[in-house]
C-alpha cells in the first residue's frame, strides 16, 4: 500500500508542440501533490534539460492532495536532445490538451510569461535575477517560485487567479499602512494577471507556534485590523464576506447542494434550517461590538513566518476579504492543541478588548463558529467553481465537510 508520507510520480514531458513521452515512475519524499521542487529536480535529471511542472494531470490513492500515485504535465525549457519526440495516444493528448478554467500559470506558455515578467520586474527594481528560478509549489490556487537575486536576498514570485483571489499586492500595502512590520515587502505586482513579486522573508513558517509567538503576532494583526476598521478596508475593493454577504451566498449555495455535495436529504434540510436561523445569530454577533474590517482570510500559524530575531511576518493574503474579525480569530483552532487554542483565544480576546472597549470578543468567537464553517464551505465551493476538472480532487469534499462541521456546531450549541 502506498504510504501517504511519500508519492510515486509520473511526468508527461513536452517542449512547445512536441511530446517526449513519460518520465518515471519515480518516488519523491514529500507527499504533498502541490510541492513540486523534488519533482522538478528528478524530471530535470531524467530529461537532461531544465524542466518545470505545469500542472497536475491526475492523482490517485493516499488522501486528497497527498500521497498515492500522481501524474504531472511538465515542460522542458530546452529541447531534450537525448529523448525522441512521439505522438501521444488519444487519452494522453486529451489530458494534455486545453481545458476550461485552467490557471494561467498551468500552461507552458503561462509559466514562461510569468517568469519573464518577474525577471523584468526585478531588473526594473535594480535587483537583477542572478540564476534560474526554483519552482517550489504549483496547484489550482497558486504557483510559487524562488528567484536568486544579485547581491541580496532572494525574491519570490507568486501566481494566483484574479477571478477568485484577492489582489495581494494591494492588500499587503493596505495592512502595511497600519503596520509595515506585519507584512512582506512587495517588489512588484500585476493584479490583472495575478502576479506578485515579494522580498524574501527570513525564517520558518510557524507550524506549532510557541505561546510567545502567539502572544507576539496575534495582537499585531488585531491592532492592524482595528486601525483598518475606520473605512479604509471597505474602500479598498476587498471581496465582501461580511455576515450579510455570506448569508446571501449561503442561500444560493443551498440550492446547489444536491449536485455539489454528498449531503443526505436530511443534512441538506438541516443546512437550510441553519441558514434560516443565521439572521438572528448574526444580529447577536454584531452586538458583541467588534467592527467589520480587513481579514487575512487564512490566518493559520503556517502563514506566520519568523526567524526568532524579529517580529513575525504574516504571509499569503490571497483569501483576504472584508468581514468579521472572529473568522480570522477562529482560523488557528484546527492547527493548535486544546491548551494552545485556549491561550490563543485569551490573547486574541484581550487584544480586541484593548482596541474595542466594551466589546465581548470571547462571546463573538462562540457565536461566529457556525458562520466560520459556513464561510469556508462557500470559499471551497468558489475554488471548485473556478478550477479545471483535474484539480477538483484537492477540494471536492471540502464544502460538505465544512457544512457538516457547521451542523455539528449548531447541534452542540443546542444541546448546551
- Which pLDDT band holds residue 339 (cuts at 50, 70, 90)? very high
Same fold, 106-199 and 205-415: no
Architecture (CATH level 2) of domain 106-199: 2-Layer Sandwich (3.30)
**How far is C-alpha 320 from the chain's CA centre?**
10
Alpha helix stretches (DSSP H) within 203-312: 211-228, 232-235, 243-254, 257-260, 265-286
42-46: list long-range contacts, CB under 8 Å, 24+ apart.
Answer: 42/9, 43/11, 43/13, 43/74, 46/11
Candidates 390, 392, 371; CA nearest to 381 is: 392
pLDDT recorded at residue 232: 84
Show the 3-state SS of 148-177.
CECCCCCEEEEECCCCCCCCHHHHHHHHHH
Each domain of the chain, given as residue ranges in start order, spans: 7-97, 106-199, 205-415
14 contacts: CB under 8 Å, gap ≥ 6: 20, 73, 74, 75, 76, 96, 108
Candidates 280, 262, 320, 233; CA nearest to 413 is: 280
Instruction: Name the DSSP letter for residue 301.
Output: G
Superfamily grouping for domain 205-415: Aminoglycoside phosphotransferase (APH), C-terminal lobe (3.90.1200.10)
Across 255-268, average pLDDT = 95
Global pTM value: 0.94
What are the pLDDT digits (tens) for 180-201?
999 999 999 999 999 999 999 9
Please state, in angstroms and rounded to a whole number, the distance separating the CA atoms of residues 321 and 167: 10
Average pLDDT of the residues of the chain: 94
Amino acid at each position: 500500500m502506498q504510504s501517504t508520507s511519500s508519492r510515486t510520480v509520473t511526468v508527461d514531458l513536452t517542449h512547445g508542440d512536441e511530446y517526449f513521452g513519460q518520465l518515471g515512475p519515480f518516488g519523491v519524499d514529500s507527499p504533498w501533490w502541490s510541492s513540486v521542487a523534488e519533482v522538478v529536480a528528478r524530471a530535470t535529471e531524467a530529461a537532461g534539460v531544465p524542466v518545470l511542472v505545469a500542472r497536475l494531470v491526475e492523482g490517485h490513492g493516499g488522501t486528497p492532495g497527498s500521497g498515492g500515485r500522481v501524474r504531472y504535465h511538465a515542460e522542458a525549457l530546452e529541447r531534450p536532445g537525448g529523448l525522441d519526440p512521439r505522438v501521444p495516444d488519444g487519452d494522453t493528448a486529451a489530458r494534455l490538451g486545453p481545458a476550461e478554467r485552467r490557471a494561467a500559470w498551468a500552461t507552458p506558455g503561462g509559466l514562461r510569461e510569468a517568469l519573464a515578467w518577474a525577471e523584468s520586474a526585478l531588473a526594473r527594481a535594480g535587483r537583477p535575477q542572478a540564476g534560474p528560478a526554483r519552482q517550489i509549489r504549483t496547484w489550482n490556487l497558486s504557483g510559487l517560485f524562488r528567484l536568486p537575486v544579485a547581491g541580496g536576498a532572494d525574491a519570490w514570485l507568486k501566481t494566483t487567479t484574479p477571478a477568485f483571489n484577492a489582489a495581494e499586492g494591494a492588500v499587503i500595502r493596505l495592512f502595511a499602512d497600519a503596520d509595515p512590520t506585519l507584512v512582506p515587502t512587495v517588489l512588484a505586482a500585476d493584479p490583472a494577471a495575478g502576479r506578485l513579486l515579494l522580498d524574501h522573508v527570513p525564517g520558518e513558517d510557524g507550524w506549532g507556534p510557541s505561546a510567545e509567538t502567539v502572544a507576539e503576532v496575534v495582537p499585531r494583526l488585531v491592532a492592524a485590523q482595528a486601525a483598518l476598521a475606520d473605512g479604509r478596508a471597505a474602500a479598498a475593493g476587498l471581496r465582501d464576506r461580511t455576515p450579510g454577504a455570506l448569508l446571501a451566498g449561503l442561500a444560493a449555495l443551498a440550492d446547489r447542494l444536491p449536485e455539489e455535495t454528498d449531503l443526505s436529504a436530511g443534512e441538506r434540510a438541516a443546512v437550510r434550517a441553519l441558514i434560516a436561523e443565521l439572521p438572528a445569530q448574526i444580529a447577536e454577533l454584531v452586538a458583541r461590538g467588534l467592527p467589520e474590517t480587513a481579514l487575512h482570510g487564512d490566518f493559520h500559524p503556517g502563514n506566520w513566518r519568523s526567524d526568532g530575531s524579529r517580529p513575525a511576518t504574516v504571509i499569503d493574503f490571497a483569501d483576504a476579504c472584508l468581514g468579521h474579525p472572529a473568522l480570522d480569530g477562529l482560523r488557528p483552532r484546527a492547527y493548535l492543541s486544546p491548551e494552545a487554542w485556549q491561550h490563543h483565544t485569551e490573547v486574541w480576546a484581550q487584544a480586541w478588548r484593548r482596541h474595542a472597549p466594551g466589546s465581548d470578543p470571547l462571546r463573538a468567537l462562540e457565536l461566529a463558529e457556525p458562520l466560520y464553517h459556513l464561510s469556508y464551505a462557500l470559499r471551497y465551493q468558489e475554488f471548485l467553481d473556478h478550477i479545471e476538472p483535474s484539480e477538483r480532487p484537492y477540494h471536492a469534499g471540502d464544502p460538505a465537510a465544512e457544512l457538516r462541521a457547521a451542523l455539528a456546531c449548531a447541534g452542540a450549541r443546542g444541546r448546551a
